[in-house]
A and B are shown apart, each in its own frame.
Chain A
Amino acid sequence: MGGSKDTIYAQLLALRCRQGNVDAFEHLVRLWEARLFYYIRRLVDQEADAWDVLQKIWIKALRGIRSLKDPEALPCWLYTLARRTAIDHSRHAPDRQLPEDFADESADPASADEPGLALDNAEAVHRALARLSPPHREVLTLFFLQDLTLEEIAAVLDVPVGTVKSRLHYARRAARAAVH
């Protein structure tokens, strides 16, 4: 229980979708498509591919939303679906790259909440994201889209929470360097 109005609204829509309400599904699409598209664009090079991936995500979501038992898990479920769909898409296009797991950044950083990056400048952050390595870009994008907790980001990326913190630490540092 608890959460912002938007979060509760999204949960309501998820619940209505489970009851087979197609109107609710359309609302869910409108509510989530922009941020999912933003996330996918950070994973997929070509814009046309990103739109294709987004459409595939909604097809999978329409088929699978009845299996979503807990509406609170909707953000995590959607981002996981988005990531897997983007990966599947890239498998059919071998010239495109997707984030790979890091093995060299497992050391626990001081904190994921390290201050410094100019968070008030969205355009600067947007430009900085483009200059990061794919794993850093992905974790920082999920962080800035702020739908997920660190634990949920870890679940989406299928890595331990420590790795998420580590990536966030380095990603923020790299982003700060890219901004300045």
Chain B
Amino acid sequence: MNSISNDFRERLIRCESMTPAYRQKYEKEMRAMLEKQVTGVRRWGWGLSAIMGVGFAALFGTLAVITPAEFPWWGRVIFAAGALFGVGWAVLGIRVFRRGSIDLKFDTGAAAGMSWGLPVIVLAFAMVWAPEGIIGLRMILCGLVFLVGGAVFLLRHVIELSELKTREKLLEIEYCLAELAERIGGPGGKDEPGRESRH
């Protein structure tokens, strides 16, 4: 197998004839694959969520501004967070409604982030800053369930992500070395493709 080069594989692959119409259909379907189509009721659902987002943004934004001076500052922060949340959902809703599709690259991550982010922020603020009088045992327990659950989920995610990032960095270094080796024509370069030597 050592006698076969990458070039041979490329030449072999080029021998395969392809019908342009099939190829175009495939390309189109691949593009569609990375976007989840939303039609009918679901699309209007996103439109409705955009309207609700605008409504909440206006309501909480107004409350954050017009509440009396004696209203606690952490309450204003929660209202402001609610307004931001509303703006976020409004933007996302309008985006999905206009496109008629959910972009898996951005939309799902943004929706998940907002859905997780706001409750955790609001709950954390309420638990830390709320006056003694309204902190009941039930509220603490409910809050703890959410916070501990969220923390465990987040921790696992962070650990997995750091592991993947470390491996990614190692591979990037390895890739740079392979590139360097290829430039100087040494081991791992074009003259000696690593994969081929395995056969």
Contact = CB atoms under 8 A, between A and B. Distances in A.
A51 B25 contact: yes
A94 interface: no
A91 B140 CA distance: 57
Contacts of B3: 115, 119
Interface residues of A, number: 50
A16 B26 contact: no
A48 interface: yes
A15 B15 contact: no
A99 interface: no
Instruction: Determine which residue in A3, A4, A20, A143 has the highest number of CB atoms from chain B within 10 A of its CB, and name it.
Output: A4
Interface in B71-113: 104-105, 109
The secondary structure that dominates the A interface is: helix
Interface in A66-125: 71, 113, 115, 119-120, 122-123, 125
A4 B194 contact: yes
B178 A4 contact: yes
Interface stretch (B38-46, B148-156, B164-172): B164-172
A177 interface: no
B194 A126 contact: no
Interface in A115-173: 115, 119-120, 122-123, 125-126, 143-147, 149-150
A8 B171 contact: yes
Contacts of A35: 9, 13
A149 B175 contact: no
11 contacts: A2-B188, A5-B175, A5-B188, A6-B195, A8-B174, A12-B172, A19-B161, A19-B164, A119-B4, A123-B11, A149-B199
Interface of B: 1, 3-4, 6, 8-9, 11-16, 18-19, 22-23, 25-26, 29-30, 33-34, 104-105, 109, 161, 164-165, 167-168, 171-172, 174-175, 178-179, 182, 188, 193-196, 198-199
The 9 closest A-B pairs by CB, nearest first: A122-B11, A126-B15, A3-B194, A22-B105, A5-B178, A122-B12, A4-B193, A8-B175, A51-B26
